Amino acid sequence: MTIGSNSPTRQGQLSVLLAVCLAALILPLSFSGAAMATHTIGQELGGTAAAMNWITNSFMLTFGGFLMTAGALSDVFGRKRIFISGVVLFALASLGLSVAPSLGILNGLRAVQGLAAAAALAGGSAALAQEFEGHARTRAFSMIGTTFGVGLAFGPILSGFLIESFGWRSIFLSGTLVGSLSLLIAIPRMTESKNPDAAGFDWFGAATFTAMLSLLTFALIEGPANGWTSAYVLTLLFGAAAALIGFVALENRVRQPLLDLSLFRYARFVGVQVLPIATTYSYVVLLILLPLRFVGIEGYDEIEAGLLMLALSAPMLVVPLLAATLARRIAAGMLAGTGLLIAAAGLFYLSRIEIGADTMALVPPLLLIGIGAGMPWGLMDGLSVTLVPKEQAGMATGIFNTTKVAGEGITLAMVNAILAAFAASALQQAISGKFNGDEIGAAARHLATGDLARAAHLLPGISPETLAATYGTAFDALIYVLIAITLLAAAVVFGLLDNAKPSEEEANPVVSPGE
């Protein structure tokens, strides 16, 4: 079946695609909108630096932790059922967020929103895989990538406008409105489908996998405040390791595993999983860090910050589709690896721009990063779903999306911890002897979240200019870490996806080990 065919199912196919794209649209809007609103939410509801981090981390934790489970559930209980349930819950959670009275309740609802987003994305992706075949399926999944690009491109400026005009609560209410529209289209048009070979659901696998991700993310978030060698953090890390060992042991024994570990014998499959990790370090983390820097450290208002973020996100409107077109003639690995090199160059350029520099100086490096990250972004969704048989679409999308979103959650927690550590080190050098380590550490954690005012309150007598310069030193040091990881990922992609093309995967959906 093709998207442009004259078959009787064409209207139904397009309706399903539109419904899933609308659901996919609200995910980046929720992601970028919360980042833009963090500073304003903190001013109204208060909270510690760790609590402010949970505005993003609670969503990412449950989103990433539940994606694989949601993919498996969709194969067993029905793709439409999981998709509809996810969108309904997301719309209700968004409505609750728009009236949340405290930061604790808001963070709890963000966790519920993440669970719902996982169900909507996994169920919707698996449903699309049943609706389309061959090149049409690749184009359909490319549309999902483009939709995310639209959300990422216009999310910051739309969120900035909503915050300035109607307050931060309006950004969550928009999720309710778009989710409701998706339901109106999907309910009458989407057909139910399941994996006929599904023998049941791996509840123990789901529990151990979710526990592993949750404990690891908790440890990364709590480490800066409690100390990496504290009993609390070490217990979380050992618990995550134990859950991982238990998960692997269980998955090798059950008949219908949550994760078919044998898939990791395929070099191309592993290579595809590297792509979302690479784009997370080179691109996604900036969607959170830069609004905090622009609004909290450099003093931009939300609309100005949103306009500046367009330079980073606007390439996602064009580059993913261009990369998908070029992949018909150029190996996907070559395109993706080249894109990561371009992103790394953009990151280095960004590290040369000082805090407080002219706004236009930031545009070229942000454009480079967006263009570079957009190249693998436009390829990885289509590649991921064509590497396994159609009947395992739920597991395939679950694995890929879990790698992408769980990686984002873990990476964001890790990057926040690294930035806080670099800020503490820079503060220690700048104001040595004036304050003790606990005071400097607390101020550094607030600086990492873009809360310059609270950092200044904790360090009386230290000028905002000194604190901003300290943040700039820490931010540049973090960028070098991101560059190193991006270059390493590019090398892996060149090696594992050197000759992969979407057309080849469509013709031969199951590859040989080591291929």
Please, how many CA atoms are within 13 Å of residue 509, restricted to the half-sphere of its CB? 18
Domain that holds residue 214: 204-255
* 145 shares its domain with 226: no
* Dist CA 395 CA 400 (whole Å): 9
Q: Which pLDDT value is given to residue 320?
A: 82
What is the 8-class DSSP label of residue 354? P
Are residues 186 and 224 located together in one domain of the fold?
no
Residue 514 lies in a domain: no
What separation in angstroms does the CA of 37 have from each of 3, 54, 166, 288? 38, 13, 12, 10
Q: Which segments of 331-467 are extended strands (E)?
A: none
Q: Is residue 329 part of a domain?
A: yes
Give the residue from 115, 278, 117, 120 showing the smallest Cα distance to 210: 115
Q: What percent of the chain has pLDDT over 90?
A: 19
Residues 291 and 423 in one domain: yes
Domain count along the chain? 2
8 Å CB contact between 487 and 278: no
Q: What is the pLDDT of residue 343?
A: 96
CA–CA distance, 29 with 57 (Å, rounded to integer): 15
Helix (H, G, I), strand (E, B) or coil at 500: coil
For 306-363, how does the pLDDT look when each residue is reduced to its tens digit (9 = 90+)? 889 889 988 888 888 788 888 888 888 888 899 999 999 999 999 999 888 888 999 9
Q: Which of 89-98, 459-468, 483-492 has the lowest mean pLDDT?
A: 459-468
pLDDT bucket at 213, cuts 50 / 70 / 90: confident
- Exposed / middle / buried, residue 513 (Cβ in 10 Å: 0-12, 13-18, 19+): exposed
What is each CA distance from 6 to 10, 17, 59, in whole angstroms?
A: 6, 16, 41
Residues 176 and 218 in one domain: no
Helices (H), 459-515: 464-496, 502-507
CB 367 within 8 A of CB 346: yes
258 vs 242: CA distance, rounded Å: 18
Question: pLDDT band at residue 89, thresholds of 50, 70 and 90?
Answer: very high
Q: Are 323 and 338 in contact (CB under 8 A)?
A: no
Given pLDDT bands bounded at 50, 70 and 90, which one contains residue 158?
A: confident
The answer to the question of residue 196 being in a domain is no
Higher pLDDT, 405 or 21: 21
Residue 1 placed within a domain = no
Kindly write down the DSSP assignment for every residue of 82-105, as one continuous string: HHHHHHHHHHHHHHHHTT--SHHH
Q: What is the CATH number of the domain that holds 421?
A: 1.20.1250.20
Residue 93: what are its φ and ψ, rounded to 5°?
Answer: -65, -40
- Shared domain for 431 and 298, answered yes or no, is yes
Same domain for 272 and 249, yes or no, is no
Query: In this structure, what token pair is assigned to residue 276?
Result: 């979302």
In a domain, 56, yes or no: yes
Q: What is the DSSP code string of 95-162?
A: HHHTT--SHHHHHHHHHHHHHHHHHHHHHHHHHHHHH--HHHHHHHHHHHHHHHHHHHHHHHHHHHHH
Q: Model pTM?
A: 0.75
- Report the C-alpha gap between 7 and 1 in whole angstroms: 8
Amino acid at 466: T
Same domain assignment for residues 236 and 130: no
Do residue 350 and residue 396 come from a single domain?
yes
pLDDT digit string, tens, across residues 61-84: 788 778 777 877 887 778 888 999
349 is a domain residue: yes
Q: Where is 19: in which H helix or E strand?
A: helix 10-45
**Does one domain contain both 124 and 235?**
no
Residue 386 carries which side chain, given as an amino acid letter?
T
Q: Is residue 472 part of a domain?
A: yes
Same-domain status, 174 and 223:
no
Neighbours of 273 (CB within 10 A): 21
In a domain, 174, yes or no: yes
Task: Say which DSSP state 460 is in.
Answer: T
